Structure 1
Amino acid sequence: MSASITLAGEGQIALKQSQKKPLVITKFIFANVPGLATDAPVDRAAGKPPVGQIVHVHDIPKENAGFVNPNQVVYSAQIGSDIGDWDFNWIGLEDADGLLFAVSYVPLQQKRKNIPPLQIGNNVTRNFLVAFDGAQALTGVKIDASTWQHDFTVRLAGIDERQRQINGDVYGRACFFGAGFKIDWVNDSFQMNPGGAYIAGIRVVRSTPLKIEPPSYPTVAWLDVALKRELNDVVASYTIVFGADRTDYTDSAGVGHYCVPLAEIPNASIALDRRVAEPIDASLITYLAARNGDYPRLRARGTKKEDVGLSNVPNAISDDPTTNSSQIIASTAALNKLQQQVGDSMTGMVAAFDMTSAPPGWLKCNGAAISRTTYAKLFAVIGTRYGAGDGVNTFNVRDMRGKFIRAWSDGGTVDAGRALGSEQANQNRSHTHAASTAGAGAHGHGGHIDAAGWHGHSAWTAGAGEGNTQILMGNQGINVGGNQAGSVMGSSSGGAFWREFGSSHAAHTHAVGINGDGVHTHGLNIYAAGDHVHGVTVGADGGNESRPDNVAFLVCIKY
């Protein structure tokens, strides 16, 4: 938007040019001025509003100032949805000296903060274009505004048109929801009902009835729909017009109008509905998913056997589920009977399921008492084999919880003699266990040997060999050969005397031989050591029950 430079702003331009100093615009000021005539010319002599009327001050980043040409500069304020809440109808530019440089009046507008889920916020973008000779040089703005300024009017208009076309692809030229916009004769006047519709892709809604007054009869009432600008937005608008024929047109403002008939009105009391209506009372997806009835344009209405390759199938049908003819089509009755036969053949069947509840047509094998009437087919099969219930109205199913199933011997030799459905207690097959004994500890035994009786042994000795013995007598020596001993008489002075002498011999041994006395024995007696025990250890085997490898499933019976 363009801004009016204040008288103080013009003086500031002249002052800065004379001082050869830059004019620096630093702030946007937003204010809500009560009673401001926003369509009147800006009062260029007025100063800033009182502090109590100023609702927001926005500092202008350097990159948000650009030049359009040497004599025009533009300043931009971009305020996000994290700021609010306030309303404004006055916007000003302030320079670095705190002087009000330019002002613009705008219709009262809202700035709201985004507070999910209570409130949806909005963004505010305001651009001030100021023009004076040498504006770029005096302000020192060096950024070309064409690099960041966009005309969002054209962009948003293109979005609106594309959305209108998309809606038209979905709803067609016209689609009225139920009785919406239908014209009826009510209480001596024509009245258009409230409701919704899509006309050429434009969504229109009426919340209250509208009285219709045709200018003449006969005539046709038309709905004239357009997208028109309203303040800063484009909204759907419509009017009711009359005439024999109305076509789409573009008005002097370049806005496209789309016209569709609502009703033919031949006189003052009759309205013939000409709307293209659908009984839509919810979202379109819900309506389409739930739609039923006849579809005249579908090919299925006139489909023949030949169209789908069934020309060889005869028209004959059969209720016999046992037929094997390729020329007969089974009827629903035959299929139901077949299903019944399959179900009856399974009554009494016991099966395991990997689930916590019984599937349809099955009962848990938990010993419960059940109705003899409701489960008559099952009662006919198992009767009171597992319990008579109350004896009149109920019977029991088998309690299979925690138990294994064993095939009935049925006359066989293994597990012979068992009755169908009978229970069998657990047992272990005969087997052996390895065992060992422990030592009793160290101990001793006393004993003695009996005498064998008196007996003798003969013995002999072996010779030790010959040698010489030397005998001394006085100073003379006498050598005596052999093994001789005795006394010799002599005298050292020549006189004779007796002198005892002995022989000496070197150390030696004599072998002794003992002869045997014949074979004999000695008795040996060992005394008892007293009573004692030896411990025996037998290894443990197994847990607290006998069972094979198994998996826990829910066991049920078919009824």
Structure 2
Amino acid sequence: MSQVAITKAFQDWKAQQAIDNTPVTLDEFVFAYIPGLDITKPVDVTEALPAADKIVHRQEVSKTGVINDNAVIYSVTIGADVGDFDFNWIGLVNSESSVLAMVIHVPTQRKIKNAAGQQGNVLVRSMMMEYTGAKAATAITTPAETWQIDFTARLAGIDDRKRLENVDLYGDAAFFGDGWLVARQDEQYFVTQGAGYVAGLRADLPENVDIEVSAPAKVWLDVCWTGTLTSVWSVQCKITVADELGNYQQNGQPHYVYAVASIDEDGSITDLRPKGLNDDLGLGELASMGVDDVLPVGIPQPWPTDTPPEKWALMWGQAFDKSVYPLLGAAYPSGIIPDMRSQTIKGKPASGREVLSFELDGNKAHIHLASAASTDLGTKSTSAFDYGTKTTNAAGKHSHTFTGPNSMTVKDGDKNSAVSTRGTMTTNEAGEHSHTVVIGTHAHTVEIGKHAHDITIEESGNVENTVKNIAYNYIVRLA
């Protein structure tokens, strides 16, 4: 809330100007930043200009205008070529005398200058001074409506148009992931940090918030688009626990509510947060889905480097802490991430094999048949060749000894007498001799017959079964 005051110094100076019959001219705005300035306290009418080191910008009055005989307005436009600075103090002065006429204490605001990669802002600040005879004292004659344009209605219309466009996209409400999820730990209920939309207004909860619940009841998210004419507008959010609650107006601002959870008498929680968008928009549904909806924890994903992205891990068979990553622990109860190096994924067979069980590589059982063609070669003859007449070696020199009767005639004078005896006798020796053998032209017949040969098939192939492939790492999300 801003604080405004016309200073005593101005009142004294204005009186002197009237005596001197000189117009009351206020021609300069002064902007300053006062550390520790309490904008909830009224402005001291004796306040003076801040010290020079606190003044961040000075600029001539851009426009003046008369509202009525007793009210005039001064305005300044600070272009996007000015900045950067913060300010929480604005003063209207007469530059010639340095008389401070009017002071405003405001919430700290930022003036940004156009720069590379930075869009500057344009600020318009106006001060209306109301006192008796203001029009005559200042000699201002230009009606303010000729240059003072009230953009309030137009800006409000732009804001509401954007809100309604979000309603077309997100419906009455939509939430991302666990944003604004009501949960309980022991006996304490809390609302989970995250984001969502209610009535087209984006509601962000930076951290978990504990709530008190008297069951049965519903937990409502209450959102409001609010701000001041000179401040940044934003969505204000609060949690209300009530049986029923409807949209309402407060301080001229509409509040939109949505029940995010219902809590039964026994303390059980029913999540009422819609997570889809307007079904008519098709792909728009994806915009409100959390990562757990699109990619549940535990699904292996191919990744092209050895460095996983943040909150992901390589699947190399390592252990993990299930208390730190409970969702991953639900997917892998052993607390060990499967080692997917050199592995492929196979759908679970109907044979009853366990999920996540390992199987070695192998070929399907089969046999090989092999044979050589069987051919009856019949009876074949060798080639005919005439070896002619050949002579054996010379040998066989020998004699024979035998026992038998010996007969001889003994002559005694002219008388012959025959004598017969027995003894051993030897034949005359036969000499060495050889034989001549005629071989002649001849051939041999060979029977081959039907037969077969054994065949050995040589080993071939890789060390393991594989297909054409590109090596990726498998990664899994940590949560």
- Shift of the alpha carbon at 1:6? 2.0
Q: Is the 8 A contact 1:2 1:130 kept in 2?
A: no
Find the aligned partners of 2:44 and 2:191 in 1 and give their Cα distance.
48
**Which residue of 1 is the match for residue 256 of structure 2?**
258
Q: Is the 8 A contact 1:185 1:270 kept in 2?
A: no
**Which residue of 2 is the match for residue 50 of structure 1?**
51
Q: Residues 121-156 of structure 1, C-alpha deviation per residue, up to 9 Å, x if partnerless?
A: 322211111122222222221211111213333332
Q: Residues 73-109 of structure 1, C-alpha deviation per residue, up to 9 Å, x if partnerless?
A: 1110110222112222222122133322222222222
Q: Is the 8 A contact 2:277 2:285 kept in 1?
A: no
Distance 1:187 1:100, change over 3 A: same
1:11 aligns with 2:9: no
Q: Residues 413-451 of structure 1, C-alpha deviation per residue, up to 9 Å, x if partnerless?
A: xxxxxxxxxxxxxxxxxxxxxxxxxxxxxxxxxxxxxxx
Q: Residues 215-241 of structure 1, C-alpha deviation per residue, up to 9 Å, x if partnerless?
A: x22222222222233672332122222
- Shift of the alpha carbon at 1:27? 0.7
Find the aligned partners of 1:46 and 1:212 in 2 and give their Cα distance.
45
**Which residue of 1 is the match for residue 105 of structure 2?**
105
Distance 1:77 1:113, change over 3 A: same
Find the aligned partners of 2:285 and 2:247 in 1 and give their Cα distance.
32
**Which residue of 2 is the match for residue 35 of structure 1?**
36
Find the aligned partners of 1:3 and 1:183 in 2 and give their Cα distance.
44
- Shift of the alpha carbon at 1:268? 5.3
In structure 2, the residue corresponding to 1:101 is in which secondary structure?
strand
Q: Is the 8 A contact 2:277 2:284 kept in 1?
A: no
In structure 1, the residue corresponding to 2:81 is in which secondary structure?
coil
**Which residue of 2 is the match for residue 221 of structure 1?**
219
Q: Residues 393-416 of structure 1, C-alpha deviation per residue, up to 9 Å, x if partnerless?
A: xxxxxxxxxxxxxxxxxxxxxxxx
Q: Residues 175-222 of structure 1, C-alpha deviation per residue, up to 9 Å, x if partnerless?
A: 1223322223334433322222111111112232233331x2222222
Distance 1:113 1:263, change over 3 A: same
In structure 2, the residue corresponding to 1:278 is in which secondary structure?
coil
Q: Residues 296-352 of structure 1, C-alpha deviation per residue, up to 9 Å, x if partnerless?
A: xxxxxxxxxxxxxxxxxxxxxxxxxxxxxxxxxxxxxxxxxxxxxxxxxxxxxxxxx
Please show how residues 145-184 of structure 1 align to structure 2 within 5 Å.
145-184=144-183
Please show how residues 500-511 of structure 1 align to structure 2 within 5 Å.
none
Distance 1:152 1:39, change over 3 A: farther
- Shift of the alpha carbon at 1:65? 0.9
- Shift of the alpha carbon at 1:46? 3.0
Distance 1:104 1:162, change over 3 A: same
Distance 1:17 1:113, change over 3 A: same
Find the aligned partners of 2:277 and 2:102 in 1 and give their Cα distance.
57
Find the aligned partners of 2:126 and 2:287 in 1 and give their Cα distance.
47
Q: Radius of gyration: which is bigger?
A: 1
Distance 1:284 1:188, change over 3 A: farther
Q: Residues 6-63 of structure 1, C-alpha deviation per residue, up to 9 Å, x if partnerless?
A: 22211221222222222222211112223333232222223222211111110124xx
1:239 aligns with 2:238: yes
Code of the aligned partner of 1:38: I
Q: Is the 8 A contact 1:67 1:142 kept in 2?
A: yes
Find the aligned partners of 1:289 and 1:78 in 2 and give their Cα distance.
41
Q: Is the 8 A contact 2:275 2:289 kept in 1?
A: no
1:203 aligns with 2:202: yes
In structure 2, the residue corresponding to 1:25 is in which secondary structure?
coil
**Which residue of 1 is the match for residue 136 of structure 2?**
137
- Shift of the alpha carbon at 1:114? 2.6
Distance 1:46 1:277, change over 3 A: closer
- Shift of the alpha carbon at 1:69? 1.0
In structure 2, the residue corresponding to 1:233 is in which secondary structure?
coil
The percentage of counterpart residues that share the same residue type is 35
Find the aligned partners of 1:108 and 1:186 in 2 and give their Cα distance.
40
**How many pairs are equivalent?**
284
**Which residue of 2 is the match for residue 433 of structure 1?**
none
**Which residue of 1 is the match for residue 248 of structure 2?**
249
**Which residue of 1 is the match for residue 474 of structure 2?**
none
In structure 2, the residue corresponding to 1:77 is in which secondary structure?
strand
Distance 1:65 1:266, change over 3 A: same
Q: Which moved more, 1:30-39 or 1:84-93?
A: 30-39
Relative to the length of structure 2, the TM-score reads: 0.54
- Structure 2's unaligned 5+ residue stretches are 291-479
Q: Is the 8 A contact 2:174 2:277 kept in 1?
A: no
Find the aligned partners of 1:290 and 1:236 in 2 and give their Cα distance.
22
In structure 2, the residue corresponding to 1:237 is in which secondary structure?
strand
Find the aligned partners of 2:266 and 2:190 in 1 and give their Cα distance.
12
Please show how residues 482-493 of structure 1 align to structure 2 within 5 Å.
none
Q: Which runs of 4+ in 1 moved over 4 A?
A: 283-286, 288-291
Distance 1:268 1:236, change over 3 A: farther
**Which residue of 2 is the match for residue 272 of structure 1?**
270
RMSD between aligned alpha carbons? Answer: 2.9
Distance 1:259 1:132, change over 3 A: closer
Relative to the length of structure 1, the TM-score reads: 0.47
**Which residue of 1 is the match for residue 81 of structure 2?**
82
Find the aligned partners of 1:34 and 1:290 in 2 and give their Cα distance.
44
In structure 1, the residue corresponding to 2:227 is in which secondary structure?
strand
Find the aligned partners of 2:157 and 2:257 in 1 and give their Cα distance.
22
Please show how residues 350-389 of structure 1 align to structure 2 within 5 Å.
none
Code of the aligned partner of 1:25: L
- Shift of the alpha carbon at 1:167? 1.2
Distance 1:284 1:122, change over 3 A: farther
Q: Is the 8 A contact 1:33 1:89 kept in 2?
A: yes
Find the aligned partners of 2:186 and 2:28 in 1 and give their Cα distance.
62
Please show how residues 399-548 of structure 1 align to structure 2 within 5 Å.
none
In structure 2, the residue corresponding to 1:15 is in which secondary structure?
helix
Find the aligned partners of 2:44 and 2:287 in 1 and give their Cα distance.
60
Find the aligned partners of 2:288 and 2:5 in 1 and give their Cα distance.
59
Q: Is the 8 A contact 1:29 1:93 kept in 2?
A: yes
Find the aligned partners of 1:247 and 1:3 in 2 and give their Cα distance.
37
- Shift of the alpha carbon at 1:261? 1.8
In structure 2, the residue corresponding to 1:277 is in which secondary structure?
coil
Q: Is the 8 A contact 1:80 1:123 kept in 2?
A: yes
Q: Is the 8 A contact 1:67 1:136 kept in 2?
A: yes
Distance 1:190 1:80, change over 3 A: same
Q: Residues 234-292 of structure 1, C-alpha deviation per residue, up to 9 Å, x if partnerless?
A: 321222222332222223x1222222222221145421122211399xx975937999x
Quick one: higher RCO (CA 8 Å, sep 6+), 1 or 2?
Answer: 2
